[in-house]
Amino acid sequence: MLLVRDGERDGRGYVMAGWPGRLGRPEVWVPGGYLLLVAAVQVWVEIVSRTVTDGGFAAIWSLLVTAPGSMLALVLAAVPGPDGGVGALLGFYAALVFGASVNAALLWGLVRAVRKLARYLSVGGTVRS
C-alpha cells in the first residue's frame, strides 16, 4: 500500500495513502538501496582495515560490490604517485564512486524497462521472440 501514488483509489473507492510523487516508485528505491549497500560495505571495510591486523584484503569487497565500473575506472586511473599514498587512495575512492554511480544508473534503467514491459503485458500486449 505504500508504493501507490497519492490519491489513487482502491477497488472500494477509498483514497489510499502513499508516498507523494516519484519517491514511492521502485525506480527510486532499487538504486537507492544499492547505493546504501555500497555505503554499508565501505563502512565495514574501513572498520575492518583499521582494526584487524590483516585487514588489507577487505578493500576487495568494495571493488566487487561496485564492479565492473570500479575496476575499469581503477585500471584507467591507476597512475601511481611518487609516494603512492594520498593519490592512490583518492583514485581508489573515485573508482568506487564511479562504479557505484554507473551501476545505480543501470539498475534504474533496468527497473524502468521491466515496469514498462509489465505494464505493456498487463494491457494485453504480447512479446515475440
3-class SS of residue 18: coil
Whole-model pTM: value is 0.69
Closest CA to 99 of 56, 69, 57, 63: 69
Total number of domains constituting the chain: 1
3-class SS of residue 4: coil
Q: What is the pLDDT of residue 101?
A: 92
Q: Is 16 left (phi over 0), alpha (psi -120 to 50) or beta?
A: beta
Q: How many CB atoms lie within 10 A of CB 46?
A: 14
pLDDT tens digits for range 96-115 = 888 899 999 999 999 888 88
Q: What is the pLDDT of residue 81?
A: 54
Closest CA to 30 of 1, 57, 3, 9: 3
In a domain, 7, yes or no: no
In a domain, 41, yes or no: yes
- Span 33-49, mean pLDDT? 91
Q: Domain residues for 41? A: 25-122
